[in-house]
């Protein structure tokens, strides 16, 4: 009888400890996710402020208070930073359990900011001499492909001459992404737009490199030496 009471007490203690550990795990997970959400909001706010600053500098172009070289450099820096930070926000959203709706809202805000950067870059091209090639990348998060790695490589090769804007084609929470897909008549993924040239499905590094080189040639009036070297390597 005594042994049975001790056994029951032991199971009760084990049960209580399990509940405490379980609740503690939920509490820690919730605190961690709230910290990530706060970080995501701060990242989005920073990028929106950068965008506002760039747009104001663009508006000062006509009065001579800002120059094209500085403006294009700031644009490149902001886009590169935006791309790096986007990966963090997307990872947070994938890990979310308690605040999924709020993370989706942050992603919407983030993609909208990126679209505004894209439109601003196109406006800057009208004010200043075109300085870079705009590449828009629509990826399918549910499918594995190496298109993003190819674009990362081309970005390293061409540096400031190429600006890359990436969008999740399946993020239906933001209608503007579908507007972009419709405007470029894109139905197959991954898809890459190099200025106004649209490539649907996986596109090789050779094809994209040749397209970018030809676009740079149109802007500068001569084929860059790096393109001549790259063409030799991919013959």
Among candidate residues 58, 93, 127, the one where a domain is terminated = 127
Q: From the CA atom positions of the chain, what is the Rg in Å? A: 24
pTM: 0.74
Q: How far does CA 223 lie from the centroid of its chain?
A: 30
Assign residue 191 the CATH number of its domain: 3.40.30.10
Q: How many residues does the chain have?
A: 235
The answer to the question of residue 29 being in a domain is: yes
Domain interval for residue 83: 24-127
The answer to the question of residue 229 being in a domain is: yes
Q: Are residues 146 and 223 in the same domain?
A: yes
Q: Are residues 46 and 122 in the same domain?
A: yes
Among candidate residues 76, 104, 127, the one where a domain is terminated = 127
Q: How many domains does the chain have?
A: 2
Q: Are residues 106 and 140 in the same domain?
A: no
Per-residue pLDDT of the chain (235 residues; tens, 9 = 90+): 545 554 666 666 766 667 776 665 555 555 565 565 566 666 666 666 666 666 666 665 656 656 788 888 888 888 888 777 776 666 655 555 545 677 777 788 888 888 988 988 888 888 887 888 999 999 998 777 889 999 999 999 998 899 999 999 988 888 999 999 999 999 999 999 998 899 999 999 999 999 999 998 888 888 877 787 776 665 5
Q: Are residues 163 and 224 in the same domain?
A: yes
H helices present in 60-136, as ranges: 68-95, 100-127
The answer to the question of residue 145 being in a domain is: yes
| Main-chain phi, psi angles of 220, to 5 degrees | -95, -10
Q: Are residues 73 and 151 in the same domain?
A: no
The answer to the question of residue 4 being in a domain is: no
Q: How many CB atoms lie within 10 A of CB 171?
A: 17
Q: Which residue has the tokens 């709020």?
A: 102
Q: Are residues 71 and 161 in the same domain?
A: no
Among candidate residues 102, 127, 152, the one where a domain is terminated = 127
Assign residue 105 the CATH number of its domain: 1.20.58
**68 close to 131: Cβ distance less than 8 angstroms:** yes
The answer to the question of residue 10 being in a domain is: no
């Amino acid at each position: 009888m005594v042994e049975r009471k001790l056994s029951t007490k032991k199971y009760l203690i084990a049960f209580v400890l399990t509940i405490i550990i379980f609740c503690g795990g939920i509490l820690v997970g919730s605190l961690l996710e709230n910290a990530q959400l706060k970080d995501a909001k701060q990242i989005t706010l920073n990028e929106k402020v950068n965008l506002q600053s760039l747009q104001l500098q663009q508006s000062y172009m006509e009065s001579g208070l800002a120059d094209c070289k500085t403006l294009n450099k700031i644009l490149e820096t902001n886009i590169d930073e935006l791309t790096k930070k986007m990966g963090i926000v997307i990872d947070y959203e994938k890990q979310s359990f308690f605040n999924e709706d709020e993370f989706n809202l942050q992603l919407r805000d983030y993609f909208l900011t990126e679209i505004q950067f894209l439109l601003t870059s196109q406006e800057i091209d009208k004010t200043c001499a075109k300085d870079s090639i705009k590449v828009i990348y629509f990826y399918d998060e549910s499918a594995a492909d190496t298109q993003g790695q190819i674009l990362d490589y081309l970005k390293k090769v061409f540096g400031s001459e190429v600006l890359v804007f990436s969008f999740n084609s399946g993020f239906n929470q933001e209608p503007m992404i579908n507007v972009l897909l419709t405007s470029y008549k894109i139905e197959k993924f991954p898809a890459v737009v190099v200025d106004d040239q649209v490539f649907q499905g996986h596109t090789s590094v050779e094809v994209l490199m040749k397209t970018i080189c030809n676009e740079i040639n149109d802007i500068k009036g001569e084929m860059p030496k790096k393109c001549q070297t790259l063409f030799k390597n991919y013959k």
